[in-house]
Amino acid sequence: ALTVGVLALQGGFVEHINLLRKAAATVFAQRSRADAAFEAIEVRTAQELARCDALIIPGGESTTISFVAQQSGLMEPLRDFVQVQKKPVWGTCAGLILLSNQANATKKGGQELIGGLSVRVHRNHFGRQIESFEAPLQLPFLAGEADPSPFPGVFIRAPVVEEILSRGDGPEVQVLAKLPGRVDKMKTGVSLAVTRDDSGDIIAVRQGSILGTSFHPELTDDARIHAWWLKQVLRPLQDA
């Protein structure tokens, strides 16, 4: 049985759980019954975290998630889960920020990060809430999935990876996706296409068991990344 947790302190955790269940239905349909048991749970305590084989940290507000995690004594168990036990973790947007070793805060004062990814993120890279946008993304790592259509990238006060840091003796940081040269951004709620050159902005990375994306698959009904990630999570568990 596979138990995947979603950190449920703030942000889009319900949406992630729904997409995980949708993705699991397709991923596990191709498998034998014996290992088809799958559970997606909300994680608010160290006990719940300890039950998980893998974890998603949702989008939301990274400062808030970090504050609540500290108040509820979850920060150290999270660091242990990610950095010591090295269980698979995926952070979307605020989750990517929390999994980074460094973040450029836009305001004064830092924030406690879980860390693990040898990168520095730039928070709110594209600007304020009204500069949120959607862009169709060609994600090379989804090439093996049946549906070849672009992935709907939802960017809300999104971070980007602005620098890959020294990885010490850790695994290599792989860049999984960048924004293409020009993006037609459909401003949410406004029928105006904004084209801006953000060529080369890094929006998805992987380092060992850690995956981070700038955008929010949980705010779409597209379960392809969840399905891809579940397969990545399952692979080493099967070999073990």
Question: Rounded to whole angstroms, what are the CA distances from 105 to 20, 120, 122?
Answer: 30, 11, 7
97 in contact with ligand GLN (CB under 6 A): yes
Q: Which x/- pattern, by CB under 6 A, does the window 166-195 give for ligand GLN? A: ------------------------------
Judged by CB under 6 A, the residue of 123, 185, 206, 226 near ligand GLN is: 123
Please give the size of the binding site for ligand GLN, defined by CB under 6 A. 11
Q: 55 to 74, contacts with ligand GLN by CB under 6 A?
A: 59-62
CA distance linking residue 5 with residue 3, whole number of Å: 6
Sign of CA dihedral 215, 20, 118, 64: positive
**Selected range binding ligand GLN among 26-34, 92-100, 196-204, 226-234, rule: CB under 6 A:** 92-100
Pick the closer one to ligand GLN by CB: 157 or 185. Answer: 157
Using the structure block, give the residue that is written with the tokens 């300890």: 50
- The backbone region for 154, taken as left when phi is positive above 0, alpha when psi lies in -120 to 50, beta otherwise, is beta
Pick the closer one to ligand GLN by CB: 39 or 61. Answer: 61
Pick the closer one to ligand GLN by CB: 66 or 118. Answer: 66
Q: What are phi and psi of 212, to 5 degrees?
A: -135, 135
Query: In the bound complex, what is the minimum distance in angstroms from residue 107's beta carbon to ligand GLN?
Result: 10
H/E stretch holding 13 reads helix 13-29
H/E stretch holding 64 reads helix 62-71
Pick the closer one to ligand GLN by CB: 59 or 212. Answer: 59
Inter-residue contact 117 to 212 (CB < 8 Å): yes
CA distance linking residue 100 with residue 91, whole number of Å: 9
Pick the closer one to ligand GLN by CB: 24 or 205. Answer: 205
93 in contact with ligand GLN (CB under 6 A): yes
User: Which residues are tagged catalytic?
Assistant: 93, 216, 218
For residue 160, give the amino acid letter: V
94 in contact with ligand GLN (CB under 6 A): yes
157 in contact with ligand GLN (CB under 6 A): yes
Residues interacting with ligand GLN, by CB under 6 A?
A: 59-62, 93-94, 97, 123-124, 156-157
